[in-house]
Amino acid sequence: MYNSRTNQDRDTRNKSPIKPLRNFNNWVKGVLIHKYVPTQSTVLDISCGKGGDLFKYHFRNIKNYVGVDIALSSLVDCINRYNENSTQFKFPMSLVHADVGRRSIESALPRGLLFDAVSCQFAVHYMFDAEEHARTLLRNVSERLKIGGKFIVTTSDAYVLVKMLRAAQGLTLKNEVFEATFHCTSEKSFPQTFGNRYDFQLVDAVDRCAEYLVPPKHFIDLAKEHNLSLVEHLNFHDFYQKYGSNQETKVNVKPELKLEGMTEDQWTAIYLYRAFVFEKIGDDTSLVQDYQFNQPSGYRKLSESDIISLK
């Protein structure tokens, strides 16, 4: 599934039947990046995909970018996007081919490199199939995140999904935009924290694949065990209520919020997601901080051979 969806050019994306939904999701990410990623930051982008957020980081004038993804073809597309915009991107980029839920990425990172922000957009729900995988993800986040640094997340909202499921007939939620079929008993109960599977598809975005419920309370508690303290978490509808009319976001966030053409079915699909922000806490210093990392600077042309593989 991860390698099968082809890269889309701007014209194709503009013709997408869910363009308003795509625009909204990009706006949410833009707000999170503007609010929680300071200028001149060093950023770790977990599940970076094809580099869809590179321009958002460009607008924040970041200092260094490291992207990690399970799909090699997506990383190749990310390189192409980076190289094609060489006159705009002023930050160096490194890419790692790895499954962050199943192994440490420590060996792929330069000694001494610490991050001001870690991002994981629309991917945590793939790593809640097992507790071990969720913990491995959070270790990868916390080990190299600076004290005070932010971990920004968008993922599915288990509260909403379960509420909608229990109000529905059968085990499938469906409209013209999305479909979610749950693997649970007819009582629609979920006694376990991990491995609560549903098969999900989103028109023109997500091919049918397995996702897993991310219970917010358990996610927050697990993050806390990894020295990640909750700053805020909001369903996307509540996120819109908080930030949609905020003057600062209207002026400074790119892309700007555009709701033209938003259908009721798309607005319902948006309701299925939640944003989280965590802050790294603690007063201890990691051994990695004993070494001063020499930050590279500026654009550097990349090729597929530059991808560090941990697969």
Q: What is the pLDDT of residues 192-202, one digit of tens each?
A: 999 999 999 99
pLDDT at 308 over 50: yes
The stretch 263-283 carries a mean pLDDT of: 96
Integer Cα distance of 130 and 228 in angstroms: 20
Domains of the chain listed by start with CATH number: 12-157+214-309 (3.40.50.150)
Enter the tokens of residue 33.
């990046």
Predicted local confidence at residue 8, as pLDDT = 55
Q: pTM, whole model, 2 decimals? A: 0.93
Predicted local confidence at residue 30, as pLDDT = 97
Integer Cα distance of 183 and 94 in angstroms: 38
Poorest-confidence range of 97-101, 109-113, 114-118?
Answer: 109-113
196 strand-pairing partners: none
pLDDT at 50 over 60: yes
pLDDT at 4 over 80: no
| Residue in the block written with tokens 């009319």 | 245
Enter the tokens of residue 14.
């503009």
Q: Give Cβ neighbours of residue 261 (< 8 Å, ≥ 6 apart).
A: 19, 20
Residue 132 three-state SS: helix
Q: Is 80 annotated as a binding residue?
A: no
Q: Compute the CA torsion angle 187, 193, 197, 198 (nearest 10 deg).
A: 70
Q: What is the pLDDT of residues 234-253, one digit of tens each?
A: 999 999 999 999 888 888 99
Predicted local confidence at residue 143, as pLDDT = 95
Q: Is 25 annotated as a binding residue?
A: yes
pLDDT at 280 over 60: yes
